[in-house]
Structure 1
Amino acid sequence: MTIRPLPSVLAERAKNELNEDPNRLKNDLQSLKDWIAKQPHLRARTDDQWLLAFLRGCKFSLERVKEKIDLYYSCRSTAPDFYRTIHTDPKFNEILEMGVILILPNFKTGAASAYEPLVTIVRPGAYDPDKYSITDIISVSHVLTKIVLMECDNATITGTQGVLDLDGVTIGHFVQMTPSVIKKMVVTTQESLPFRVKGNHYLNTPAGFEIIFNAIKSLLSEKNQNRLYVHNKNYEEMYKYIPKDVLPAEYGGNGGTIKEIIECWKEKVQEYSSWLEEDEKYGTDEPLRPGKPKTAEDMFGVEGSFRLLQVD
């Protein structure tokens, strides 16, 4: 097995909260690899560290892992526009440079916060909606998320927190958020990924925000509705959930500057360049799926028919 050893703090949490058993891990991984090999429609990664992320995200329930992996790769086939801006696309670097998506690396690695949920800040006001679409932004986030799944154990063990900073958003940003886009966004960024979402926090909310907020909220289970926090301009309230050690200086924290975080991710994407290129070959061949092939309508429903998502 090529598995990264865990710090004792995370190993204990993985055991107690996720049912992780090092003595069973080799067999679990082999079971998944055998299952993937038998699926005629599925082209999936079988790296040990990659599969381990899905095992942790599903608390080591093999049946749930199989469903999650199938869903993850089905999304690539049924919502290709949400994966089209890849790391070699000039748009990718432009979006990365603007700091629209900041996955916080937590520079204070010796701090207790190093083992807290991974925090991502999304700043849609940083991009021009006349030049870029929300699907471009989500595509970039998917690339970065692949790296997180391979590298960040605390994300798959202790979970994630999201911050949506709406400072500078315009009507141009809002009109991109159609019901169809919102449904695909929730499925591809939450339901299909092996992360336990611990909270989503909203900052600098403008007039009209309630419409989008209520649309997103209606897609979530009651448990996840209770994990939504609207702070607007009250950063002190946010600090009760997200340590200052993690946050960028621009948000009152001491976790580095936005520029430093961007540079960190540019280097990381470069480091993973060949891995990301190879990853493009994975997905599903729906005509080969046993039974009925999945379609976008199956996956995301028709306009107006929001379904309740259970995100663990």
Structure 2
Amino acid sequence: MSVSVRPLPPVLEEKARKELFEDPGRLASDLQHIKDWIAKQPHLRARTDDQWLLAFLRGCKFSLERTKEKLDLYYTLRTTAPEFFKTHYTDPFFEEMLSLGIFVILPKPPTPDAPIVSIVRLGKMDPNKYNMLDVFGVTSSLMKILLLDNDNAVVAGGQGIMDFEGASMSHFLQMTPSVMKKMVVMGQDASPFRMKGNHYLNTPPGFETIFNAVKGLLNEKNKNRLFVHNKNYDELYKHIPQESLPAEYGGKAGTIAEITDYWRGKVKEYSTWLDEDRQCGTEESKRPGKPRTAEDMFGVDGSFRQLEFD
């Protein structure tokens, strides 16, 4: 059996072997095992590209059972949380959100074997015009491309920066318990992308309420990867070197506008793939056993309007 995947640079190949238990001699049979399993699932419409499935195997440290569970959950969310995937790259709205620079992924890691860095700038979104779900639609497309295209992201994982400069209570009121639960399920349980740290900057009043609520939904490992720096950028630089950040953060990785142009090019490059991917998901009526519903997975929606913000 032959496989169609990119060879890793030596430094990442070693990292994959040591940390993810990747065995090149077993790769073809592992991929075939997952493809055979997908073919037997009557409810599942999943991609079977080698490079795509490899991202899930790596994200699950080559546990075949965990890979199956994660793939199933990943595609189930298309059905139970469709609002997170509604914005397609062909929508004029997509370009509008991209141009605002709300979600920025740095194309190159700080060092050859380091995690990829992403930045969310919530304050760039007008909460009276846009909703958090609009941002997730753009984020979802870029993350798919990242998993296909960037070996550092899949092997070394990611570091996230959440910059709240300019954010207000109106932004936070969009973070209902249901939205937060879905975000955590997507990021922690369904995605093969492994976050190595989340860093919070310029935190406003009211942040602690949201932070503690999200933290309460995370597993212990991810709770320990949260870092609140507020305005102490020097602490951030201990985790992510300053020179590897965009010019707007005092770095040398280009401007956010230049990085956004890079992603425009990637979206164009992967446009056919993204078109095909829209057909993927689950048909819950065909799921063996009990169909999954949003209510079962996420509970009842609510809001934070009843909570007190300090």
Alignment TM class, shorter chain as reference: over 0.9
- 1:147 corresponds in structure 2 to 145
Letter of the 1:104 partner, please give it: L
Instruction: Say yes or no: does 1:211 pair with 2:215.
Output: no
Deviation at 1:137, TM superposition (A): 0.5
Give the secondary structure class of the aligned counterpart of 1:115. Answer: coil
How has the CA–CA distance of structure 1 residues 114 and 257 changed in structure 2, closer, same or farther, with 3 Å as cutoff? farther
CA–CA distance in 1 between the matches of 2:116 and 2:243?
A: 12
For 1:131-162, what per-residue CA distance to the aligned partner results, in whole angstroms no more than 9, with x for missing partners? 11000101110000000110111111111111
Task: Please tell me whether the aligned partners of residues 244 and 255 of structure 1 are also in contact (alpha carbons under 8 angstroms).
Answer: no
Letter of the 2:153 partner, please give it: A
- 2:249 corresponds in structure 1 to 251
Deviation at 1:208, TM superposition (A): 1.0
For 1:237-281, what per-residue CA distance to the aligned partner results, in whole angstroms no more than 9, with x for missing partners? 101111224210111111111111111011111111111111100
- 1:281 corresponds in structure 2 to 279
How do 1:1-312 and structure 2 match up within 5 A? Answer: 1-106=3-108, 113-303=111-301
Aligned length: 300
Letter of the 2:257 partner, please give it: K
For 1:158-209, what per-residue CA distance to the aligned partner results, in whole angstroms no more than 9, with x for missing partners? 1111110000012221110111111111112332100221100000000111
CA–CA distance in 1 between the matches of 2:159 and 2:167?
A: 21
Answer with 190-199 or 76-85: which moved more.
Answer: 190-199
CA–CA distance in 2 between the matches of 1:98 and 1:278?
A: 27
CA–CA distance in 1 between the matches of 2:299 and 2:65?
A: 24
Task: Please tell me whether the aligned partners of residues 246 and 254 of structure 1 are also in contact (alpha carbons under 8 angstroms).
Answer: yes
Task: Please tell me whether the aligned partners of residues 113 and 245 of structure 1 are also in contact (alpha carbons under 8 angstroms).
Answer: no
State the percentage of identical aligned residues: 63
Task: Please tell me whether the aligned partners of residues 202 and 229 of structure 1 are also in contact (alpha carbons under 8 angstroms).
Answer: yes
Letter of the 2:117 partner, please give it: V
CA–CA distance in 1 between the matches of 2:188 and 2:274?
A: 21
Gaps of 5+ in 1: 305-312
CA–CA distance in 2 between the matches of 1:222 and 1:133?
A: 29
Answer with 78-87 or 219-228: which moved more.
Answer: 219-228
**Stretches of 4+ aligned residues off by more than 4 angstroms:** none
Task: Please tell me whether the aligned partners of residues 113 and 243 of structure 1 are also in contact (alpha carbons under 8 angstroms).
Answer: no
CA–CA distance in 2 between the matches of 1:155 and 1:290?
A: 33
- TM-score under structure 1 length normalisation: 0.94
Give the secondary structure class of the aligned counterpart of 2:5. Answer: coil
Answer with 34-43 or 268-277: which moved more.
Answer: 268-277
Deviation at 1:300, TM superposition (A): 1.5
- 2:308 corresponds in structure 1 to none
Deviation at 1:303, TM superposition (A): 4.7
Task: Please tell me whether the aligned partners of residues 40 and 288 of structure 1 are also in contact (alpha carbons under 8 angstroms).
Answer: yes
CA–CA distance in 2 between the matches of 1:298 and 1:255?
A: 43
- TM-score under structure 2 length normalisation: 0.94
